[in-house]
Structure 1
Amino acid sequence: MTPDTVEVAFITPRHLAGGGDPAWITVPLHRACGWTYDDDPLMPRVVLTSPDKTSVLRLEPHTDGQWWVLHHFAHGGRPAWYASFGARTPVEIIAGFVDALTDPAAPRTGPSDPFEPLRRQSWEPAPGAVGLVSPDGTTRMERLVDEADPGAWFVTTTLGPEHLVWQARFGENTPPHLIEAFATALTEPRPVWRTNGALGLPTLDPKFINRGVEDVLAANVAGALAGRVESLSNRQHDAPPVRPNPPEPPAPRASHRR
């Protein structure tokens, strides 16, 4: 590593990459999508509200529980719904959800199957549940059919029965195309990148993750977020319903270490 480079870890599968930088979500929502924020310097939280006032995203760090909570209010005859994400839910996966929510060209109605992206990546049926399990056995996506929260969706990543890594929850009225977008980002095979080496990773066990460490140009690392903001800003209101490609991870420059 030189003064011009930063040590970056490239990690797969992405569901075990740790939470990442919250700015990957909050900055584009504000700068590219026009969400306004409430700033309380005495509280360690972020509150962002959509331009039409129908959605509010709260990022509020807790020792336990869900760090990210999005409430969408009843509007235009459509019921209210919620989505929440644990602290170690990778921001790249959350981005799949919020980018679909804010995409002016995304379909709002029509058939959508949140399980389909998982089937394409060889996820298997979850025993005793309406759901699927990842090939490494660490993550399951299921739809509940109980009286407490009928129709709700849960995505849960664990490392053994006593080690919950993160959980995403979607209320029964969450638009299916948004959950499908989350599932698509969840199963994306490309690695995600993290600075500061292994800091924040839930495991370094090579049975579960592949971790390649590279020296990357500092300018590329710094420019990744700006590239994401620009990509989302360029979405057109009259464009066909396609998802924008997120910026690629910063390109490695020098040595490769494990």
Structure 2
Amino acid sequence: MKKTRWQGWGPSEQAEQHYLVHPRGLAGGGDVRHVSEFLRASGWRDRSRTGGPLAMESPDHTVRIAYDPYTRPGGWTIHGAPTGHGKEWATHLGRQTPVEIVAGLTDALTRPRSAHAPNVWSPLQEQNWRTRFEGEHYTATSPDGTAWVQYHQGADGTAMWWIGAKDCQGNGWTASLSPDTPMHLVQALSAALADPEPVMRPRGHVPPSEQIRTQSVSVRPSELTAWQQTRITAARAATWARSSWASAQPRNRRPATPGPYRAGADRRAGRR
């Protein structure tokens, strides 16, 4: 029997030109599925309507994530409902926020919180970002000056996190996070922004910027699929591990309640 080789794999597969982009903050939006497929694999529900914006909901219904490229300013909106652990919070990230940076925050929503106190500034200082006070604000700026993280306090006392990246031409994005946004999520976002690793973009999807450095690479579609699948498999494995651990824990059982005549019977038995 003659075997037929599937054209998507093997030597007949054609490599495609991609670019490694640095700094990652100026790489442009990227493929939204980098975020959404990981959330699906982590048990999140897809609430999107056909042809409409992306809408995802956490398994416990406390967090909603939406991506709308059709409106202005558009972009990512993440909303957390008030819970016993914290107040209501909201985050908005512009349309050109790289999905790898968005995923820094959204991936963290799928994991248990660390026992260590979060530190937003630590991952920035590790990458030699410059930190300073500017009036009522505290700001960290990347070594090349294209990205920043700022704790912004207004004259009326309101506060927020202001994060973003822009080149000399003004191309880029900004993100605003309410002051009640859980600190471990702000730290996850700052760590993803400060990550020195470049991100990959296909030909034709690299923003025109004099401050971007690129390296051309040839990538087979099967390699891209394998990399994406590795990320999804990791999410499924982590979700399965958490579910297995939770199901193995003993349930809290209430102590047996004596029947209406049991106590009296015990007292009578004690007098014998």
Q: Same fold (TM over 0.5)?
A: yes
Decide which of 9, 23, 41 is 1:13's aligned counterpart: 23
Q: Over the residues paired in the alignment, what is the CA RMSD in angstroms?
A: 2.2
Q: 1:164 to 1:126 in 2, by over 3 A?
A: farther
Q: Which has the higher helix share?
A: 2
How far did residue 150 of structure 1 move? 2.4
Deviation at 1:223, TM superposition (A): 2.2
Q: Distance in 1 between matches of 2:234 and 2:75?
A: 26
Corresponding letter in the other structure for 2:185? L
The match for 1:171 among 154, 157, 178 is 178
SS of the equivalent of 1:111 reads: coil
Contact 1:117–1:187 (Cα < 8 Å) also in 2: yes
Residue 84 of structure 1 pairs with residue 92 of structure 2: yes
- Is residue 38–residue 107 contact of structure 2 (8 Å, CA) maintained in 1? no
Amino acid at match of 2:196: P
Q: What secondary structure sits across from 2:159 in the alignment?
A: coil
CA pair 148-63 structure 1, distance change in 2 beyond 3 A: farther
Establish whether residue 29 from structure 1 lines up as the match of residue 39 from structure 2: yes
Cα distance between partner residues in 1 of 2:155 and 2:36: 34
Q: Which residue of 2 aligns with 1:253?
A: none
Aligned residue identity for 1:6: E
* Structure 1 residue identity aligned to 2:45: T
Identity of aligned residues (%): 27
1: CA distance, partners of 2:197 / 2:111: 22
Q: Structure 2: which amino acid aligns with 1:174?
A: T
2:139 corresponds in structure 1 to 131
2:207 to 202, 217, 220: 202
Residue aligned with 2:83, SS: coil
The 3-state SS of whatever aligns with 1:234 is helix
Aligned residue number for residue 184 of structure 1 = 191
1:228 alignment partner, one of 215, 228, 231:
231
Give the Cα–Cα distance (whole angstroms) in 2 for the partners of residues 53 and 47 of structure 1. Answer: 12
Residue number in structure 2 paired with 1:101: 109
Q: Which residue of 2 aligns with 1:246?
A: none
Partner of 2:158: 150
| Count of matched residue positions in the alignment of Structure 1 and Structure 2 | 229
1:69 aligns with 2:77: yes
How far residue 55 of structure 1 moved from its aligned partner, in angstroms, is 0.5
Distance 1:41 1:189, change over 3 A: same
The answer to whether the 8 Å contact 1:126/1:140 transfers is no
Report the CA distance between 1:170 and its aligned residue.
1.1
- Structure 1 unaligned segments of length 5 or more: list them: 240-258
Deviation, 1:20, is: 0.6
In our comparison, the structure showing a higher alpha carbon Rg is 2
- Alpha-carbon shift at residue 83 of structure 1 (Å): 1.4
- TM-superposed deviation, 1:202: 3.1
CA apart distance, 1:120: 1.0
* Superposed displacement of residue 85, structure 1: 1.0
Say yes or no: does 1:55 pair with 2:63: yes
Conserved 8 A contact 2:13-2:220:
no
TM-score where L is the length of structure 1: 0.81
Report Cα offsets for 1:129-156 as digits up to 9, x if no partner.
3111111111111011115672310112
CA pair 164-212 structure 1, distance change in 2 beyond 3 A: closer
Structure 1 residue aligned with 2:48: 39
